[in-house]
Amino acid sequence: MAKRSVIPFGPQHPVLPEPLQLKLVMEDEKVVEAIPAIGYVHRGLERLAQEKDYQQVTYLAERVCGICSFIHSLTFCQGIEELMNVTVPDRAKFLRVMWSEMHRMHSHLLWLGLTADAFGFESLFMQGMRTRETILQLMESTAGARIMLGTCTVGGVRRDIESSAFGEINTALDSVARDLDQMAPTILNDYSVRERLVGVGTITAQQAFETGAVGPVAKACGFARDFRTTGYAAYGQLDFKPVTETAGDCFARTQVRFAELYQSVDLIRQCMAKMPAGPIAVPVKGNPDGEIIARTEQPRGEVIYYIKGNGTKNLERLRIRTPTFANIPALLKMLPGCQLTDVPVIILTIDPCISCTER
């Protein structure tokens, strides 16, 4: 038996945007076991949520994650609305979907760039970031901010997208789709990219089920598990099918995310076509009381908010389970058996977001 050694991977590592440490037990160049260590960015947001009133927590929930922020506030608002029996106007639902999908696109493009960077394709990284800038501009012109949109509120949304802005959105989406078409042959068909991704970090469908994997990690194993299909917000009125692949390796996860980019473009277009007229918010009176679980689909997978109110303006308990939290056990199943050089790529294909994991 070869001699075992332990390599600490992270918390500071060139490919990791966020602090995650993995203690890799190595046998020569092969990983035998991986032990995660997190806790570098724990902020105690769930505790802070108990001190603020529930309207303020909307903005706090948005800051759980720096990438999929809008969907966090959307999940929180949906939970509170269900607790207080508030019916959100139809137009607000469509607007929520539009911003959710914009967030999904910018998150996947950021992920695409970072993964390209992890396997050493710097110019593809820049290509991804350039395309992402179009979406960020679009979010700033429609919502007023580049990432922290702050447009979701209990009872609806705070800002309307006028139909006069649809032309601009369509132009931006056209340009994004063109950029994606340009990148597609490189990502999906290039020899050097496939060499780094195909057959690397494979997990079986059974392992994905046992570890409770969500989002693109589960979809790449053949599970069509997409919470959008339950039709929250306006997703029930839109036409789409969850993207799935069957290989379960890094390349399958890349394919899933890349196909979801096209899907998001399509969903935003459908929203603009089907957007009804009407109010964008309803006034909300009273305080939440009782327990509820709200779930939505984020770019990384399903997010869960457990909300417990006690009839006062402060919440009794807010628990957030983010998708990366559910994907870390799957990551620990992927790593054993791989080469040390593949570790950064495998970690990045689960799209880790450590700040949301620790909250």
Partner 1 sequence: MRIFTFVNNVWQNITSRPATRLYPFTPRTPIAGARGHLQIDADTCIYCGICQKRCPSNALAVTREPKTWTLDPYKCIVCSYCVEACPKKCLSMNPAHK
Partner 2 sequence: MLTNVKEISRDTLLNEVAAMMPQGYRFVTMTCVDCGEYHDIMYHFDKDYVLSTLRLKLLKGQKLPSISDIIFAAIIVENEIRDLFGIPVKGLALNYEGRFLLTEDAPIAPFNKPVVNTETKSNN
Nearest approach in angstroms of CB 129 to partner 2 is: 31
What's the min distance (Å) between Cβ of 141 and partner 1?
Answer: 5
Least Cα distance to 110 among 241, 17, 202, 218 occurs for 17
What whole-number distance in Å separates Cα of residue 112 and Cα of residue 106? 10
- Does the protein bind partner 2 through residue 292 (CB under 8 A)? yes
Per CB under 8 A, which region of 114-122, 142-150, 176-184, 209-217 contacts partner 2?
209-217
Return the DSSP state at 328. Answer: H
**Intra-chain end-to-end CA distance of the chain, in Å:** 41
Identify whether the C-beta of residue 57 lies closer than 8 Å to the C-beta of residue 76: yes
Structure tokens that stand for 153 in this block: 């509120």
CB of 186 vs partner 2, minimal distance in Å = 35
Q: Does the protein bind partner 2 through residue 51 (CB under 8 A)?
A: no
Do residues 108 and 179 touch, judged by C-beta distance below 8 A?
no
Please report whether residue 124 would count as binding partner 1 according to CB under 8 A.
yes
Q: Does 314 bind partner 1 (CB under 8 A)?
A: no
Using CB under 8 A, which residues numbered 310 to 349 contact partner 2?
Answer: 316-317, 319, 321, 325-326, 328-329
DSSP state of 8: E
User: Are 75 and 60 spatial neighbours (Cβ–Cβ below 8 Å)?
Assistant: no
Tell me how far, at minimum, the Cβ of 59 lies from partner 1, in Å: 4
Q: Site residues for partner 1, window 159-188 (CB under 8 A)?
A: 182-183, 185-186
Paired tokens of 28:
């020569």
What are 240's two structure tokens?
């789409």
Stretch that binds partner 1, among 56-64, 88-96, 225-233, 252-260 (CB under 8 A): 56-64
Neighbours of 42 (CB within 10 A): 12
- Residue 351 Cβ, how far from partner 2 at the closest point, in Å? 17
Contact residues for partner 1, defined by CB under 8 A: 52, 55-57, 59-60, 63, 123-124, 127, 130, 133, 137, 140-141, 144-145, 148, 150, 158, 182-183, 185-186, 189-192, 194
